[in-house]
Structure 1
Amino acid sequence: MQEFIYYNPKGLDFPVSEEILVSTNLDEIKEKSFLISNTSEVNAEVNADEIDFYIKNTKDSMAAQIENVYKLYDIAANKYDFAQDISYSQEVTNQLLLVANTKEEYEKFVACIKPDDFELFFVQENIIKSISGHIGNLSVIVDDEGKDVTLNVSQIVWYDAKEEGIKQSGCFDPKESSEEEVVSLLKENINSYSYKKFTTYDKTICQYNERREVICSKCEEVCPSVAITKDDETKVLSFSQIDCHGCGGCISVCPSGALDYAPSNRESLFEMSKAFANTHPLITPQKMNISSLEVELKEGVLPFAIEGEKFLDETAFLTLAQISGSQLVFYTDFISKGSGDAIRIVNDIYQKKYGKDAIIVAMNEEELSEALKEVSFIEGSNFNFNQEGLKKREIFSHRLQKLVGDEDLGEVKTGEHVHYGLVNVNEDKCTLCLVCVGACNVDALQADAKDNTLRLNPSLCTSCGYCEVSCPETDCLEIERDVIKLQPMWFKENILAQDELFACVECGVEFATKKSVEKIAAIMGPVFANDPVKEKSLYCCADCKPKIMMQNYYDQKKQGMSNAR
């Protein structure tokens, strides 16, 4: 199979790689299938409209255009190869619930359909008690004169839909478009409804999953639908891919990287970013519809097409900026909470190091034109390394460490939705119980048995606070939240507390830290003050403690028998 196809009735004004089949006749290729095409008119797995956008608007030399056109095909192929967005289908019947509050709304909708189009149920909004399920399998509980009645339908039409409808897949509001458009969509869904997997989840580094305290559920908070739900009793997240809009907003606020974006995951973004070395990347989300745009792309500008607009986080932005060695232009009409924080953080860092923003946001065509004139390379910012297999925070840490080098650039504040922080420990109160180490699932806190130390790599800390709530000591551990210190020590393991090992007074084996033994002895010493053996046991290891207690028992028993004689 020929992987790459370029179709245009007018052909091309310059030659392209022999790996790209160029066609001016649609009839010649209509029976063939391809991997990447420049247009939806061709049967292909991926339609990359950024190719024609680039060809139409670029000011690159012909040699650069030849190279870049092939590069755009290759980037699209990489994205396809790495994508984990598996497609699924859902059966949707013609059972339809109409929620209307006036006779006019009811009549207006019914006038747009034929009697046999749908099996239609009608209710008024005020009797709806709850909605559950998803498109194709919706359960609506209504109050029928004091009794709960369940209506099982596939889709819902709801005039002025309330939040429980807006967040539900399969619910449509005619006032958001028109009755005609909604009816057309309802029928299309009955014929064929498919959806994709947009998120992947690693619960082992999730900062909500099965923890004793709720210290993070950002993904659920920002989700615009019911695709992510949580149970605060069991501390378990549930994901419904059929309800997911694919926006990616949950990805950019996930502190540990437990969530990733299936269409363009972390590994995929890294591989695609390599193609943008020594270019000016123009990030273009799918929804921005660049096909009709007419803007001048000065030499070196190359579009970077992505699917969702909200999944880009600080690690993704810094990776692309360092590999390209350039400022980035992000063309989007909406900035998500996580991406907004990430852009500000990376820009603040770049301002301190280079005196320039790393990311230029353009929210309309006029701003885009200005941004494309302004975008420039940043001297000394190029950097890349093999980040395969590393977690989100580890990648950001390594890249930021290279940027900071040996300098002290001060500090930047992180934000409401993206958090970094610094763990501080009162060494006098720390017994090195290491509960905090067990609580940290991003490996920011570590214990070193060689020198009996508790250590922190601040650059990995998400400021989640689970170590803080887990620490058994009073006023021992606290977090300085929402700060990144741009200095070398931020990226190294700092010793927070250290202690000597205590040797068992009976056998001499070291079995605990000196502070932990002293703490227990201080609590229990007064209780055992009248029993020297029990008091001694406080300073014994687990093996010797029962031995001396049993020996004391037998000694006392033997003594009692001697006294009886």
Structure 2
Amino acid sequence: MSDENFLGRWARLKRETKTADAEKPEAEPATPPEAPPAAPPELTDADMPPLETLGFDSDYSGFFSAKVSESLRKSALRKLFHQPEFNVIDPLNDYCGDYTTFAPLGNLITADMKYHLQRTARAQLESLMETNAMTHDTLLAARQQALASLQQHPQAVTDSVAYQSQGRVLIIGGAEALEIAAQLPETLKPHILLTEAVNTELKQVVTPLAGRSIDISGYLGAFSISLNSEDGKGSILQTDLILDLQLTPTLQRGIQPPGYFAPSPETLATTLAELPDLIGEFSKPRYFHYNPSLCAHSSSGLKGCTRCIDACPAEAIISIGTKIEVNPQLCQGGGACAAACPSGAIRYQYPSPAHSVDQLRVMLRTYREAGGIAPKILFHRSEMAVSLDALPANILPLPVEELGSTSPELWFAALSFGASQVLLYDEDATPELSRQTLQQQLATAHAQLQGLGYASDAIQWLAVGTPADGISPAPVMPTFPSSTQGGMNDKRLQWTVALDHLYQHAPQPSAEIPLPQGAPFGLLNINKDACTLCMACATICPLKAIDGGTNKPQLRFHPDRCVQCGLCANGCPEKAITLQPLYLADHAQRRMTRTLHEEEPFCCIRCGKPFGSQSAIKMMLGKLASHPMFQDPRALKRLEMCDNCRVVDVVQDPDAMGDTMSRSFRH
């Protein structure tokens, strides 16, 4: 073992290292380093690319040069960070939504909104009552007197429609039809139309459908069922009543014919209990009145207004050439036809429009005289239960046969009599077609209200399910002197008289109010370059809204008569007429005759008598110039003569009459 200590060993190792370094060969001198490259010139604003050319993949490093202006550098960075790649928000971020805009709620009213609306409405009414020193009991007493006045004006008796039933019942269905037939009382005479193959011994009262189609027509006591097969061999069944048990009933109408039942499983028992009572003679009111002289359905073979046909949920109205026909047995008093009719050719008569308007006038007058304020009229179906205790004290319910039987002339009459609002209380029982017609009429009424400067919700539709205690009592219409016009059965006159009164007291009335398509008021626009004044439109118009001049070719228009039926536009051979739905609120303008187009008359080239328009003769000459009959210049010239001179010229023309006949006429 070495005696060398730590320090001795360290010194020895150090000496050995120096000796080893001295013995190494001398290293070659290192290659001198290359000179650094020259620095590139610093970039300036002039060296930068246009900002509009920059995208996400562009090189933005140059903008960080010291000599690039701060404003340009910021603009470039702003351009970069506005790229879509830098604007992807994590959908899990709580703040990624756009909370600056909100989707409209539409008809949805939250519970909180209802509460605040009701509170505001009550506060408005209470403020009005306080101003007039009135109590809640005063309003209730006034309403009671107003409703009692209705009993003093009962509706007039109308014609009736008769039915007669002997109790013959046709049950349409499968095996369940056989079971139900066995349960019927002896007074009924069932017959089963089997829709599926079932073994039964009741051959004499069973008719198998056997793949045939079913066509049902008729009504209580007079149903006819046609069973049609592809080979043309069908049969017909006659019955008084029909009980349709199919999952999809044969008849799909908003209002089914009387005597036709298609109950659900929940209502089957109720229907079966009703059937025995439908034996004997029955009658119902004749709900409509039709005046064909006012009808704009058709003229000269051209299709015009079909609004009543389209609106009838009972399919009781059909076209019969130029007019319509209403089946009184099928009509169930829905009233949508009368509401949709633009001219008043078909009107409701149970009760008549005049009676309904008189009822409104008397009821509102009685309410005011009893100390009531801010009255609201609530139209509802008579079979719809409305609790007076749930309604605000200033709301006057008025029952009608069907909600669809009310229409704008009645609504505006109520407003002119001083109603602060008209409410239409809808329910599930309203047929969808009637509801659509109601919405169309509301669109026209709202446009007229807004055009006069009133709030559109002065006439308001209450959606199905609206609670009675949720109806606002707050007044909508301003206060003005009430109108005193009597009830009329003329729809357009009643409508315009009420609007004239509202126009007199309107806050910001417009003389011309644009209306939605289908509205029964409007103007006609004429393309004068195309119109030849042929007077086809004046001949077709059933309501004489268009007529001709007396001294020269002229087309005159009477705005107060036009119902926008479209017959004139359909019948114009030059397609020069377009309709413009518009209401002229000013009575004088509405009654003023307008000249749509006029020309100097074309005079006979032989006697000088005026007999047509310049454009009509010019068009005729152009169309007949190439016709074989008018290749003779003299024959073509005769088109520029009046009737008398044309006959004389033909007689004197040997080429037209033949030489021998021409000489005999001259002698």
Please report the TM-score for the alignment, with normalisation by the length of structure 1. 0.75
SS in 1 for 2:297: coil
In the aligned structure 2, how far is the partner of 1:444 from the partner of 1:250? Answer: 23
Determine the C-alpha separation between the residues in 1 that align with 2:568 and 2:584. Answer: 20
CA distance in 1, matches of 2:228, 2:613: 64
Pick aligned residue for 1:142 from 224, 227, 251: 227
Q: Look up the SS of the partner of 2:412 in the other structure.
A: helix
Structure 2 partner of 1:153 = 239
Match of 2:449 in 1: 350
Whether 1:131 and 2:228 are equivalent positions in the alignment is: no
- Partner of 2:471: helix, strand, or coil? helix
Give the CA deviation at 1:241.
1.6
Moved more, 404-413 or 437-446: 404-413
Match of 1:252 in 2: 339
Report the counterpart of residue 617 of structure 2 in structure 1. 517
Match of 1:14 in 2: none
Q: Quick one: structure 1 residues 509 and 60, their matched pair in 2 at CA, closer, same or farther if it must change by over 3 Å?
A: farther
CA distance in structure 1 between the partners assigned to 2:220 and 2:631 by the alignment = 73
Closer, same or farther: CA 161–560 of 1 in aligned 2, 3 Å: closer
Change in Cα spacing, 1:311 to 1:454, as seen in structure 2 (3 Å) is same
Aligned mates of 2:545, 2:250 — CA distance in 1 = 39
User: Are 1:263 and 2:350 an aligned pair?
Assistant: yes
Alpha-carbon distance change, 519 to 382 in structure 1, aligned in 2, over 3 angstroms: farther
- Is 1:499 matched up with 2:499? no
- 1:324 aligned onto 2:418: yes
- Note the 1:55-204 alignment, pairs <5 A: 59-60=137-138, 64=142, 68=146, 71-75=149-153, 77=154, 80-81=155-156, 84=158, 86-101=159-174, 103-104=175-176, 106-107=178-179, 109-110=180-181, 112-114=183-185, 116-125=186-195, 127=209, 128-142=213-227, 147-159=233-245, 160=247, 162-164=249-251, 167-175=256-264, 177-204=266-293
TM-score (norm 2): 0.64
Distance across 2 between alignment mates of 1:432 and 1:519: 11
For residues 375 and 426 of structure 1, do their structure 2 counterparts lie closer, same or farther at Cα, with a shift above 3 Å needed? same
Aligned residues of 1:196 and 1:242 also touching (Cα < 8 A): no
Cα distance in 2 for partners of 1:497, 1:280 equals 47
1:217 to 297, 306, 312: 306
Distance (whole Å) between structure 2 residues aligned to residue 339 and residue 93 of structure 1: 38
CA distance in 2, matches of 1:389, 1:99: 44
Identify which range, 494-503 or 273-282, moves more after superposition: 273-282
* Structure 1 Cα separation of the partners of residues 350 and 634 of structure 2: 67
Deviation larger for 146-155 or 539-548: 146-155
Q: Aligned match of 1:273 in 356, 360, 366?
A: 360
In the TM superposition, what are the counterparts of 1:516-535 in structure 2 within 5 Å? 516-524=616-624, 531=632, 533-535=634-636
- Whether the 8 Å CA contact 1:427–1:476 is kept in 2: the answer is yes
The question of whether the paired residues in 2 share the 8 Å contact of 1:327 and 1:378 is answered with no
Closer/same/farther in 2, CA of residues 170 and 556 from structure 1, 3 Å limit: closer
The answer (yes or no) to whether the contact 1:331–1:368 under 8 Å persists in 2 is no
Q: Is the contact between residue 168 and residue 226 of structure 1 (CA under 8 Å) also seen in structure 2?
A: no
Following the alignment from structure 1 to structure 2, what is the Cα–Cα distance between the partners of residues 144 and 158? Answer: 20
**Matched residue count:** 488
Amino acid at match of 1:289: A
Deviations along 1:24-69, one digit per CA (max 9) or x if unpaired, are xxxxxxxxxxxxxxxxxxxxxxxxxxxxxxxxxx944698468535
Instruction: Tell me by how many angstroms 1:195 deviates.
Output: 2.4
Q: Deviations over 1:402-436 (max 9, x none)?
A: 54569536644425x64544321112332222111
* Equivalent pair of 1:394/1:460 in contact (CA under 8 Å): no
Percent identical pairs in the alignment equals 19
Unaligned runs of 5+ in 1: 1-57
Contact 2:291 2:346 in 1 (8 A): yes
Deviation, 1:286, is: 0.8
Structure 1 residues 366 and 394: alpha-carbon distance in aligned structure 2, compared to 1, 3 A threshold: closer
* 1:441 CA displacement: 1.9
Counterpart amino acid of residue 206 in structure 1: C
Structure 1 position 121, deviation (Å): 0.9
Instruction: Give the conservation status (yes or no) of the 8 Å contact 1:381–1:403.
Output: no
Following the alignment from structure 1 to structure 2, what is the Cα–Cα distance between the partners of residues 443 and 112?
61
**Aligned partners of 1:227 and 1:165: how far apart in 2?**
13
Matches of 2:610 and 2:341, distance apart in 1:
42
Deviations 1:265-305 (A, max 9, x none): 33333333332356533323212233x44224435x43333
Q: State the Cα distance separating 1:123 from its structure 2 match.
A: 1.7
1:34-53 → structure 2 map (5 Å cutoff): none
Q: Does 1:294 align with 2:393?
A: no
Aligned pairs (5 A) from 1:332-371: 332-333=426-427, 334=430, 336-356=435-455, 357-363=457-463, 367-371=467-471
2:48 is matched with: none
Deviations 1:7-38 (A, max 9, x none): xxxxxxxxxxxxxxxxxxxxxxxxxxxxxxxx
179 and 213 in structure 1: CA distance in 2 versus 1, 3 angstrom threshold: same
Aligned counterparts of 2:498 and 2:299: Cα–Cα separation in 1: 31
Give the 3-state SS of the residue equivalent to 1:270 in structure 2. helix
1:227–1:240 contact (8 Å) kept in structure 2: yes
Contact persistence 1:401–1:491 (CA under 8 A): no
- Residue 261 of structure 1 deviates from its aligned partner by 0.8
Q: Is the 8 A contact 2:653 2:662 kept in 1?
A: no
Q: Secondary structure at the match of 1:122?
A: strand
Offset at residue 553 of structure 1 (A)? 4.4
Give me the CA root mean square deviation: 3.7
Partners of 1:95 and 1:119 within 8 A in 2 = yes
Matches within 5 A, 1:472-483: 472-473=573-574, 475-480=575-580, 482-483=581-582
What's 2:202 paired with? none
Shift of 1:522: 3.8
Q: Which moved more, 1:423-432 or 1:368-377?
A: 368-377
Check conservation: 1:199, 1:262, Cα contact below 8 A.
yes
